[in-house]
Structure 1
């Protein structure tokens, strides 16, 4: 049986490039398992239950929280999101490199319930670059961008709570370092 691996958690402020890094990691290293979150939000066009998310109603989500089925959960923009515990534990027990991409609140919950997890903070090269990325998306109104920037200030201040920081100057470099961490090999 493969040795148990340590759970790796990737977190950082909105706009830092977490989803871009995770997409590249999944493309180049399909052996890494990325947890699929459960959410109370409605599916968007093209989303499939069990692929992008597990979709649940409020009652089902409440039941999952109450029975301890979620490793972590948080509310964002009026919807709740959480990480199902059992699939994570099964992958870790099988020795599968396991990654969670979650927010600061979720990372703190994982630290409480699984102190052996490796918490990785993805940081922007600078605050100005983070602001440029958020504004440059062109997908959200100015008030939403300002809320994300306010949240980003709080998230940046929490960097010291993480085991290590990777600065996202290159998606490929961040992926190489994450793979080394997930494999349990010395950092590159």
Structure 2
């Protein structure tokens, strides 16, 4: 595998989506995996940009065909990652980033044990509560459910290789970029990317 596969997970409100968007803007060699979903597009979303929007029947046929590296049903909608696209990108030497939950991360690791797992944590439960409340889009009951779900998700932090505490967005971005850059310099990564050089010199 010439490219690196990064799996980034976090509880709701930890800032994962913002961090990933900022990383992709500064690390052009990292390609975001676009998931397939059966949910309807939201205003402003485009097919093939935010998601590949497909019908339920097609999604289920893709499951049967083994097309997905990982998939899940969330709130009545299906979401999945194309195994073929990931494999092609990695074989071509491209770095790929998956922004998924811990359950999807477990499925990815079973297929790609060398995947690099990064978990984003909030600095405290108080700050997480403040962020979720500050959105102003959810009721108190929904926020309580999200906080409970976040605590359950954070118990899986030990399954990841790196942990970034998102207290300062700028520092968290620096940390995420450091993970990406350091992993490219690992022996196996360098040997795969520069096979001819290794063959000539070593």
Aligned residues: 185
Distance in 2 of aligned mates of 1:105 and 1:142? 26
Distance in 1 of aligned mates of 2:185 and 2:102? 26
The CA deviation at 1:185 is 4.6
The CA deviation at 1:186 is 6.3
Judge conservation of contact 1:98–1:182 (CA < 8 Å) in 2.
Answer: no
- TM-score of the pair, normalised by structure 2: 0.85
Judge conservation of contact 2:123–2:167 (CA < 8 Å) in 1.
Answer: yes
The CA deviation at 1:12 is 1.0
Judge conservation of contact 2:4–2:94 (CA < 8 Å) in 1.
Answer: no
Distance in 1 of aligned mates of 2:185 and 2:136? 39
Gaps of 5+ in 2: 187-202
Distance in 1 of aligned mates of 2:6 and 2:84? 16
The structure carrying a bigger helix percent of its residues is 2
Rg: which structure is higher? 2
The CA deviation at 1:35 is 0.4
> 1:105 aligned to 2:95?
no
With over 3 angstroms needed to count, the CA separation of the structure-2 counterparts of 1:10 and 1:93, relative to structure 1, is: same
The CA deviation at 1:170 is 2.5
Task: Give runs of ≥4 in structure 1 deviating > 6 Å.
Answer: none
**Which of 88, 91, 96 pairs up with 1:90?**
88
Distance in 2 of aligned mates of 1:149 and 1:9? 22
**Which of 135, 138, 143 pairs up with 2:136?**
138
> 1:74 aligned to 2:72?
yes
Distance in 1 of aligned mates of 2:67 and 2:35? 12
The CA deviation at 1:30 is 2.6
Gaps of 5+ in 1: none
- Paired position in structure 2 for 1:15: 13
- RMSD between superposed Cα atoms in Å: 1.7
